[in-house]
Structures are given as C-alpha cells and as structure tokens.
Amino acid sequence: MTILLLFLILSLGSFALLSKDLLHSVIALSALSMLSALMFTMLKAPDVAITEAAVGAGISTIIFVWAIRHTRRRSKD
C-alpha cells in the first residue's frame, strides 16, 4: 500500500515539474501533500499528517497561487 502511495506521489511530483502550466503544478503539489498526509496517518503519525495537510495543502498552495498570479502562468520548460 505504501509502495502504491509512494508511486503516486512520485508521479505527481514528476508531473508538477514537467507540466508547462504552473497552476497545474501547484494543484499536483497540493494533491501530493494530501497523499503524503494520508500516508502519514497510515504510518501512525497523525501529528505530522495534520501539519502536512495544513501546511502543504494549505499555506504553500496559497503562497504558490499568489506568486503565480503575480508572475506568469506559463513556463517554458
């Protein structure tokens, strides 16, 4: 199960870096955070899971979206 989750996380991470649309990357990253939070609950780390969900899927996403709104959404690579 953890292997499957890790595999998903890895592919989401690669997608975030390969996508030419930065907003898609941000969504992928926040999904990645949620998946890791799920994994942390499975690994008996509820505290880390809450933090990861609040920070990774919450604040980071807000800041990333803010940065992208202020710059350009398209990336050349």
Partner 1 sequence: MKRTWFIFKVIFILLVVTLAMLPVILSSHPWPVASRDYLYENALSDTGAVNTVSSIYLGYRAMDTLGETLVLLVSITGTMGILINLGRESEEEEAVSFSLAPEKRATNAQRTHLLEVVASKLGPVVLLFGFYVMLYGHISPGGGFQGGVIVASAIVFLALGTETQSKLTNTTVLGRIETLSFLVLIIVATSGVFFERGFFGNPIKSGSSLSVNFIILLNIIIGLKVGTSIAVMCIAMMGGRHGH
Partner 2 sequence: MVIERILIFLLALVGFSAIVGAKNIIKKVFGLNLLNSAIVLLYILEGSRIGEQAPILGEGVTNIVDPVPQALMLTAIVIGVCVTALALALAVRLYKATGSLEIDTISARLHSEQ
Q: Are 48 and 9 in contact (CB under 8 A)?
A: no
CA–CA separation, 62 vs 68, rounded Å?
Answer: 10
Q: How far is the CB of 54 from partner 2 (least distance, A)?
A: 10
Task: Indicate the SS3 state at residue 74.
Answer: strand
Told to check if 52 binds partner 2 by CB under 8 A, we report yes
Contact partner at residue 21 from partner 1, partner 2, none, CB < 5 to 8 Å by partner kind:
none
Q: How far is the CB of 41 from partner 2 (least distance, A)?
A: 9
- Which residue of 21, 42, 43, 58 would you call a contact of partner 1, by CB under 8 A? 58
Q: How many angstroms separate the Cα of 6 from the Cα of each of 31, 38, 39, 67?
A: 13, 11, 8, 28
For binding to partner 1 (CB under 8 A), which residues are involved? 46-47, 49-51, 54-55, 58-59, 62-63, 66, 69-70, 72
